[in-house]
Chain A
Amino acid sequence: MSQAKPLGGTIFTPFFIAMMVVFAIGMYFLGVRFMNGIGAVANINGGYPWGIWVVYDVVIGTALACGGYALAITIYLFNKGQYHPLMRAALLASLLGYALGGVGAFIDMGRYWQFYHLMMPKHMNFNSVMLEVGLCVATYILVLIIEFAPAFLERIGAKGLLKALDKVLFLFIAIGILLPTMHQSSLGSFLVAMGYKISPLWQSLYMQPVLALLTALCMGFSIVIFEASMSKAAFDLDDETHLLSKIGKIIVGLLTAYLVVRFGEIIVHGKFGLIFTSGKNSVLFILETALFVIPLVILTSEKKRNNPSTLLWAAVSMLFAGSLYRFNAFLLTYNPGPGYSYFPSVGEIMVTLGIIAFEVMTYIVLVKTLPVLHKPKHA
């Protein structure tokens, strides 16, 4: 049995009500999308078939939801049981991030009423990266529900079920490590088929899955640090810096590996000069690289790693780095040829913000009503 407890307290705080307003505005535009078509809300077009609903809600959103995945690797593969106190909150954030990524994909689907074709063998195309991502993400959402179920079962006091689930949970944890490894790498593989539309600084034939996976892991560990720091501030919880700073050390290893592969690929393929000669893309590349290097510099220093505030800054920079990497590759440097441009509309942005607001609200409600976080001992 875990030592996590429901936090209790008022749900309808001013912040929560503000989130509800954002959510309501998002729902209005979503209604317009379903009544009048995607084009009535979003600015996507013939050259830019994917806008922020795919690139933020799905590609970046699920990477930001890799906290549960990253911690599961640490706890169960590297046998670091001391991270357990962080696990439930990370799982909950992962579940919400992935579930809403699924919702985002559904909203964006032009023929959503046929989405179940993805699951019908007669329709499946096994050459398609999209098939792998679709099925894998859908399955992972179910696995996350099962992994998070103990929190709910503890709350309702279903001891028998809890015990039964605990016996088979190892299998779901294992699947829960395999699936994100598969689809997070595949989210990078998407780029291969888009060929020349992807700027050479972000295109790579064989390294896409590795780059996507390494950055997703870095983002997963960083979101654990971010969420723990935010929860501590918001709900007056115990200080977990001793655990978080060790996570910072893991990020250093992953981030180094990422930068070696990223720059290795660029140098081996003779693209180094493009870093300085690609105009707007050069600026984006250098900004992105700086955001990756900042956490590396901060987290390499033991003193800075143990300081909650610099540690948080490192995590935030890493989250922006991974997000910008994805925005750059899929949208900001994406070039389908002359005559096309894309910038998200207000409605499009509001739908995405509405989804994020819903995610935040659900997180707040669940940590207040279910045993997710560890309450301070002095309370």
Chain B
Amino acid sequence: MMDRRSFLKTATLGTAAACVSTVAEARPNLEPSPEAVGMLYDSTLCVGCKACVSACKETNSMDPVIHGGNFQYDSAMDLSSDTLNVIKVYSNGTAEVKDSETDGFAFEKRSCMHCVDPGCVSVCPVTAMRKDPLTGIVTHHADACIGCRTCMGGCPYNVPQFEYDEAFGRIQKCQMCNQEGVERISKGGMTACAEVCPTGATLFGPRTQLLEEAKRRMTLKEGDTYNYPRGDISKPDSYHEKDLEANYHNHVWGEKEAGGTNVMHISAIPFDKLGMPPLEDRSYASMSETLQHTLYKGMALPAVALAGLTYMVKRNKDKDGEE
């Protein structure tokens, strides 16, 4: 028979200790860096030309994805190890009206959101995913990566993609055109996708300015005329005037979702329709780290456990006199 009383006592004490420290040590979401750079994607401005897809491939030296006989356009359907940025289409019913939820269509961009509190960085065992403390750009470092692909599971947007078809593959993701050898941002430039966007649907710039711009657009009404900047919001190349054809859906995606993102989206239709994941404000990284650091802070709990275990095993083994 097991000594139930002592087992229960230990178990209760252990659980109580774990609960108390959990409350005390909760790790909050990380905060956006004041100097973070990002992008604002305005779905209502996007015309689906995919110039950004092609510019992205050029910058990252990736081949176009071809489906069937269509060689005119890159026909990538989703992110892959050959596609770090893609334009997807929402369509409903007759799909006649742009930016209408019913009987309409809308475009949506998929690329790394450069999370403020990135899951990929939190879960990577070998620090191959890194977030620049100043710019907030999340980069991947294949020279450190072991290919466990935990980052893929830990990314709410399924952004990191592994080269499954290579014998010696690697993870690929958008690094905001700032990876070694490209470094467009460090050199004072902007992302390739924002640079080539003819309508300013993809706008580059400091996160704070982009967020202000997004909120300004939220106040506009259908029929209003607005002067939209192109390129880098802090020094736009040019502007174009456009009448609003649909009201914005009052939601800046990335202001708060899972701790917020440096790449933000606005649109005329709700984001769940555009395939955005069901996220709440708290980041999964903060929850996972709270749990891990509660259990393993300074390795105190394991050390105490080991001391107790060693004592008990020694005592019982000596008494036993066997094996």
Residues on A lying within 8 angstroms of B by beta carbon are 2, 34-40, 42, 44-47, 49-50, 74-81, 84, 87, 105, 108-115, 117-118, 120, 123-132, 134, 150, 166, 169-171, 173-175, 177-178, 181-182, 185-186, 189-190, 192-197, 205-206, 208-210, 246, 249-250, 253, 336-340
> Do residues A37 and B144 form an inter-chain contact, with CB atoms below 8 A?
no
With A115-B146, A197-B153 as known contacts, state yes or no: A46 contacts B161, CB within 8 Å: yes
> Do residues B296 and A81 form an inter-chain contact, with CB atoms below 8 A?
no
The chain A residue sitting closest to B6, CB to CB, is A78
> Do residues B316 and A37 form an inter-chain contact, with CB atoms below 8 A?
no
Return 14 A-B CB contacts under 8 Å, by A number.
Answer: A37-B169, A39-B164, A50-B149, A110-B145, A111-B147, A117-B126, A126-B296, A128-B124, A130-B150, A150-B323, A189-B292, A192-B291, A253-B4, A337-B158
**Which of B145, B153, B169 gathers most chain A CB within 10 Å?**
B153
Q: Determine the interface band of chain B, counting residues with CB < 8 A from chain A.
A: 35 or more
Note all chain A residues with C-beta closer than 8 A to B150: 49, 128-130, 190, 193
- Of residues 228 through 278 on chain B, the ones whose CB sits less than 8 Å from some CB of chain A are 258, 275, 277-278
Chain A interface: which of B35-43, B57-65, B184-192, B304-312? B304-312
Q: How far is the CB of A28 from chain B (nearest CB, A)?
A: 16
A209 to B128, CA, bound (A): 25
Chain A interface: which of B99-107, B194-202, B281-289? B281-289
The chain B residue sitting closest to A35, CB to CB, is B167
A194 to B163, CA, bound (A): 21
With A37-B166, A130-B148 as known contacts, state yes or no: A170 contacts B313, CB within 8 Å: yes
Q: How far is the CB of A217 from chain B (nearest CB, A)?
A: 12
Q: How far is the CB of A377 from chain B (nearest CB, A)?
A: 19
Task: List 11 other contacts, CB 8 Å, given A46-B158, A114-B146, A128-B122.
Answer: A46-B78, A74-B2, A77-B312, A81-B320, A110-B170, A111-B142, A128-B124, A131-B126, A193-B154, A196-B278, A253-B4
Q: How far is the CB of B223 from chain A (nearest CB, A)?
A: 34
> Do residues A111 and B145 form an inter-chain contact, with CB atoms below 8 A?
yes
A84 to B123, CA, bound (A): 40
With A170-B317, A174-B313, A340-B158 as known contacts, state yes or no: A194 contacts B284, CB within 8 Å: yes
The chain A residue sitting closest to B276, CB to CB, is A337
Q: How far is the CB of A104 from chain B (nearest CB, A)?
A: 12
Note all chain B residues with C-beta closer than 8 A to A193: 119, 122-123, 150, 153-154, 284-285, 287-288
| Interface of A: prevailing SS | helix
> Do residues B322 and A84 form an inter-chain contact, with CB atoms below 8 A?
yes
B317 contact from A169, A190, A338, Cβ within 8 A = A169
A186 to B285, CA, bound (A): 15
Note all chain B residues with C-beta closer than 8 A to A38: 162, 164, 169
With A78-B3, A81-B320, A189-B291 as known contacts, state yes or no: A110 contacts B162, CB within 8 Å: yes
B123 contact from A40, A128, A206, Cβ within 8 A = A128
A206 to B287, CA, bound (A): 9
Note all chain B residues with C-beta closer than 8 A to A209: 291, 295
The chain B residue sitting closest to A192, CB to CB, is B288
The chain A residue sitting closest to B154, CB to CB, is A193
The chain B residue sitting closest to A133, CB to CB, is B125
> Do residues A111 and B168 form an inter-chain contact, with CB atoms below 8 A?
yes
The chain B residue sitting closest to A116, CB to CB, is B146
The chain B residue sitting closest to A78, CB to CB, is B2
With A46-B158, A78-B2, A195-B284 as known contacts, state yes or no: A39 contacts B165, CB within 8 Å: yes
Q: How far is the CB of B259 from chain A (nearest CB, A)?
A: 12
Note all chain B residues with C-beta closer than 8 A to A125: 122, 124-127
> Do residues B317 and A194 form an inter-chain contact, with CB atoms below 8 A?
no
> Do residues A177 and B288 form an inter-chain contact, with CB atoms below 8 A?
no
Note all chain B residues with C-beta closer than 8 A to A37: 163-167, 169
A197 to B148, CA, bound (A): 18
Note all chain B residues with C-beta closer than 8 A to A40: 165
Note all chain B residues with C-beta closer than 8 A to A192: 284, 287-288, 291
The chain A residue sitting closest to B301, CB to CB, is A182
Interface string of B79-99 (1 = CB under 8 A from A): 110000000000000000000
> Do residues B146 and A129 form an inter-chain contact, with CB atoms below 8 A?
no
